[in-house]
Amino acid sequence: MTLQLVSRTQCFDGAQCQYSHRSSALDCEMRFSIFLPSQAEKDQRFPVLYWLSGLTCTDENFSQKAGAQRMAAELGIVLVIPDTSPRGEAVADADGYDLGKGAGFYVNATQSPWKPHYRMYDYIVEELPALIEANFPVSERRAISGHSMGGHGALTIALKNPARYLSVSAFSPICNPIACPWGEKAFAAYLGENRAAWEEHDATVLLSRATEQLPMLISQGEEDQFLEQQLKPNALEAAAKAAGYPVKIEYHAGYDHSYFFIATFIEQHLRFHADYLLHAG
């Protein structure tokens, strides 16, 4: 699979890059961003944190707004930031920001007209890591994080694939999508009316059924405008308590849903992941 370099910018003695490639999982051209610390130019392999972005975002929001590169460079962690959904003229879309392009929800669609391209689950879990590990100086030590819809993606993907990741974190995740307007709309479109299929992509349900546990950190702003109706962290917290799953959920007074919140606490999240990515065992 051929990678095309779109841009490269020096950042904290490392390189913030954007690449394009043809995705077989999504059957379209895709872009991703990657931050390579300066040490990555040496003959070493470095762990990777995959970051999944939220509704309306592309691969550029996190790389431009979160300020994560400084700490990633210091720790020696590669950041991989994929797009949120398939793109292109042939890809199905919808009116509104919460379905279609920019709203892939990290699932494999089973319904028309979404099924041919909307296979973000396969792309994130299988295709993109294989591409990264074949072309960049990285190891198979992976962690995953994300925001909002991307927080939903990070939690569900980690819970469904605990052997693939060493840790998982999220900012303001959609914790219980089968019971919120964003999730109900997206899952009905992409997965149809079989609610059992929806449960396979709901962090609260998956956590309640988990047989393996991963280190998990969640940050939630108390002034988040989507907190009560869309995000529902209390549902996840209750499921974790009932299942004995050691989730660390931190609520932060005064913070909202924006990248200002992410930028404030991204260092904490990177250090959290470093505890598992950088230490064998």
Catalytic: 224?
yes
From 148, 169, 208, 219, the catalytic residue: 148
For residue 250, list its beta bridge partners.
219
Q: CA separation (Å) from 238 to 17, 175, 242?
A: 40, 11, 6
Q: Which of 152, 257, 269, 273 is catalytic?
A: 257
Nearest CA to 182 out of 86, 105, 238, 114 is that of 105
How far, in Å, are 33, 35, 55, 102, 110 from residue 27 at the CA level? 19, 25, 21, 16, 15
Q: Is 20 a catalytic residue?
A: no
User: What's phi and psi for 22, nearest 5 deg?
Assistant: -85, 125
Q: Is 269 among the residues known to form the active site?
A: no
What is the C-alpha R_g of the chain?
17
273/263 Cα distance (integer angstroms)? 16
Question: Which of the following is catalytic: 147, 172, 224, 273?
Answer: 224
Which residues, at least 6 apart from 134, have a Cβ–Cβ distance to it below 8 Å?
A: 1
Residues classed as catalytic: 148, 224, 257
